[in-house]
Structure 1
Amino acid sequence: MTQAYLERILTACVYDVAINSPLDAAPALSARLGNQVLMKREDLQPVFSFKLRGAYNMISLLPEEARAKGVICASAGNHAQGVALASKRLGIKGTIVMPRTTPAIKVDAARRLGGRVVLHGDGYDEAAAHATKLMEERGLTWIPPYDAPDIIAGQGTVGMEILHQHPRKLHAIFVPVGGGGLAAGVATYVKQLRPDVRVIAVEPEDAPTLHSALKAGKRVQLEQVGLFADGVAVRQIGKETFRVLRKHIDDVILVNTDEICAGIRDIFDDTRSVMEPAGALAVAGLKKYVEEHGVEGENLVAINSGANMNFSRLGHVAERAEVGEHREAVLAVTIPERPGSFRQFCQAIGKRSVTEFNYRFSDPQQAHVFVGLALSDGIQEKDDLVADLRSKDYPVLDLTENEMAKVHLRHMVGGHGHLVEHERVFRFEFPERPGALTQFLNRLGRRFNISMFHYRNHGAAYGRVFVGIQVPPEHGERFDAFLDEVGYQYVEETGNPAYELFLS
């Protein structure tokens, strides 16, 4: 059967629609990892992912009778675009059933590529059930996203191209896995021609379909999967893909959301292209493999599988990438509630760049601060910092791996200051550089009590601070003099209705 797959891949019909995507060097990532990292750029395909290879190959091989009736698929992502484009190029009517919850950008893309889009249900299962009904009623041919030999063969041409483009020594190829079509095709081809090359699957920790199946010795249905890497959010590995992968895959690496986000940034740094989360899985897995195995001086290939990223997700990705690269620590620290304690805490953390500061007065005795700190030496630096703060009698809770804190809590710290009197609130801007926040607090000194503080480093040239300060009426003139001497741009927001509604 393996020989049959090799023949299918060698004769696959994909290049009417797909490009022979480049295998680009990643110089910045290579230098950091001490290995030659190469990226297979499937994000440069006409539909920005590898999916059109398998879809076109399968549809092109259909008999005339099936072509005349048309094809159908259920998909909310890249497979839909692949089927739509393949159908259009072959002059076949292609029906794409998508959940009503599918983002408009993906619906519009499928329609623009010539697909007849039918919106049905609130999730994939309902859409797939409706597609099955339409298929039976109209005699359409089902085009699965991964679990069919012709689909696997089409995706396998990615492996064929990699070996043509890099015939020299190659240590490993890293492949993202959802349903397993791409990995099965690549592994089958590579292991037939270059059995010395390791083929390593990469999955999200919250969608380990292949990992779970290999561990159990059979396909398993996951109760739920994470949706961040929606391109691989599959509850069960394919039947045929699992049969192939259990014979040919060398290892499976699991990565978390932060590591995926760091991979997206790494790819951007070297290519100026933005991957979707599933598209950066392979790079995230490659980095983890190097870290865990101490690999040096090897040639490593990561398949960048897709770039259908919703623009609205970029902010979240950028925020999480710092933690995924071990460049940010997220801590909750308890400090005494007295004038000057805030400044003393900033002095205790040294000249590290502060990425975020959230604080709201709530208790006359102590204050809880949510702080993000930039790291230059990864996990060890974070552990040393936590130990140092605790040695100075600061209670510290490390939230760096706390999903709830990173997704929700960091945006919810605050609330109404019921015990706060004479509060005035301001927005300040000051040049962004290490120590700038501490310098700001030193200028404020012990003269006034800070009752609320929010700061987030957005990567701009200027830091932005939102601060509440208790200013008794008899000290108003002295405070106004401080505003004049501090030298930073500011806007008073005490009368802002949003402040009055949520914070005052």
Structure 2
Amino acid sequence: EDSAVYLSGLGTVGLEVYEQVPKLDAVIFPAGGHCGLLAGSAAALKHLNPHISVIGVESESFPVLQQSLKAGHPTEDQACSNHHFYGDVSGLCFGSNSLQLTGKLVDKVVAVREEDILISILRLLEYERATVDAEGAIGLAALVAGKLPELKAKRVAIVICSGNLELHLLQQCIARALTLDNRVCRFSLVLSDCPGDISKLLEILAREEARVLDIKQERTFVTSELFTVEVTCTVETRDKIHTAQLRNALLERYPTAAWMER
């Protein structure tokens, strides 16, 4: 759908933002899909205040809007290999009216990585208690990724329009985001296979307040000396600083500990 009536209906989102948030400097919208929300809202906002910056955000995996604006016409659909994650924002089917309005009224379109979207899903869940999908988090992802430095100290609204995430997908997103945020990490080290050595390791983890998610011991497929065990631990920390403190504490006691990078 790309009619003027349809785009006008979507543009009421821009009208609501303008009425609810005074003295706006910029509004960030999800782009991609048919980009009707971006185009319709840009028309409403620019009519009310031409000085408000309207910014669209799409995924680096399929920056079809940027390519279409550059070409001057809607480009051919691109295959999205991760449709379950991106949902409607990957539906590359916008029409000429949406593209024309976007090119005329939208000030900037930026693309973000999947990693930044996942981190934004986690931030919204933690700080706003909002469970959103990729489309809902993609606007915040542009700020998380530092794509819009010109908005620092400005009054900015981010439109979070989102569908529901399936439970298994939400679990995967949170698990991956915690790893990307350096709050779930994994390390391995070699201990002597004697009573008490594992407990000493666990004492260090407890002292450093790291939450043990998983611990595995390998005695057979190892290249170390006989009567040794290779231990692999997956732990959760509070933040990057806590992770660094834990790493230093482990290396002080176990200099050969190997930290597995993501």
**TM tier, smaller:** 0.7 to 0.9
| Change over 3 Å in CA distance of 1:225–1:369 after alignment to 2 | same
What does 1:381-460 align with in structure 2 at a 5 Å threshold?
Answer: 392-399=255-262
Q: Secondary structure at the match of 1:305?
A: coil
Q: Which range is displaced more, 192-201 or 256-265?
A: 256-265
Looking at structure 2, the residues matched to 215 and 342 of structure 1 have their Cα atoms a distance apart, in angstroms, of: 60
Give the structure 1 partner of residue 174 of structure 2. 318
Q: How many residues align?
A: 248
- State yes or no: 1:223 paired with 2:79: yes
Shift of 1:158: 0.9
What secondary structure, in the 3-state scheme, does the structure 1 residue paired with 2:40 have? Answer: helix
1:305 pairs, out of 145, 161, 169, with 161
Which one of 225, 246, 249 corresponds to residue 106 of structure 2? 249
Deviation at 1:305, TM superposition (A): 0.8
Of 1, 5, 12, which residue of structure 2 is paired with 1:157?
Answer: 12
1:176–1:281 Cα contact (<8 Å) kept = yes
Residue 28 of structure 2, aligned match among 158, 174, 177 = 174
Check if 1:281 corresponds to 2:138: yes
C-alpha displacement of 1:271: 5.2
Q: 2:61 aligns with which of 188, 206, 212?
A: 206
Q: Does 1:374 align with 2:245?
A: no
Q: CA-to-partner distance for each residue in 1:431-474, whole Å, 9 max, x for gaps?
A: xxxxxxxxxxxxxxxxxxxxxxxxxxxxxxxxxxxxxxxxxxxx
In 1, Cα distance between the equivalents of 2:17 and 2:54? 12
- The 2-side partners of 1:253 and 1:368 are apart by 44
Q: Distance in 2 between matches of 1:328 and 1:319?
A: 10
Shift of 1:277: 3.2
State the SS of the aligned residue for 1:304: coil
SS at match of 2:232: strand
Deviation of residue 355 (structure 1)? Answer: 5.4
Aligned mates of 1:313, 1:359 — CA distance in 2: 26
Indicate yes or no: 2:39 matched with 1:184: yes
CA contact (8 A) 1:225 1:234 kept: no
Contact conserved, 2:27 with 2:55, CA < 8 A, in 1?
A: yes
TM-score, with structure 2 as normaliser: 0.74
Give me the whole-angstrom Cα distance separating, in 2, the residues matched to 1:221 and 1:390: 50
Q: Which amino acid aligns with 1:230?
A: G
Gaps of 5+ in 2: none
The equivalent of 2:89 in structure 1 is: 232
Q: Secondary structure at the match of 1:222?
A: coil
Q: Secondary structure at the match of 1:306?
A: coil
CA distance in 1, matches of 2:184, 2:174: 15
Gaps of 5+ in 1: 1-143, 400-504
Q: RMSD across aligned C-alpha pairs, in angstroms?
A: 3.6
Quote the offset at 1:176 in angstroms.
1.1
Cα drift, residue 183 of structure 1: 0.6
Equivalent pair of 2:80/2:90 in contact (CA under 8 Å) = no
**For residues 152 and 338 of structure 1, what CA distance do their matches in structure 2 show?**
68
CA–CA separation in structure 1 for the residues paired with 2:260 and 2:165: 34
Counterpart pick for 1:197 among 38, 41, 52: 52
Q: What is the match of residue 221 of structure 2?
A: 363
Contact conserved, 2:208 with 2:246, CA < 8 A, in 1?
Answer: no
Structure 2 CA distance, aligned partners of 1:209 and 1:384? 43
Question: C-alpha separation between the residues in 1 aligned to 2:247 and 2:101?
Answer: 47
Whether the 8 Å CA contact 1:335–1:341 is kept in 2: the answer is no
Preserved contact between residue 55 and residue 106 of structure 2 (Cα < 8 Å) = yes
Counterpart CA distance in 2 for 1:350 and 1:212 is 53
- The structure having more radius of gyration, on CA atoms, is 1
Q: 1:328 aligns with which of 162, 172, 183?
A: 183
Encode CA deviations 1:53-106: one digit per residue, 9 max, x unaligned: xxxxxxxxxxxxxxxxxxxxxxxxxxxxxxxxxxxxxxxxxxxxxxxxxxxxxx
- Native 8 Å contact 2:36 2:94 kept in 1: no
Deviation for aligned residue 1:272: 4.2
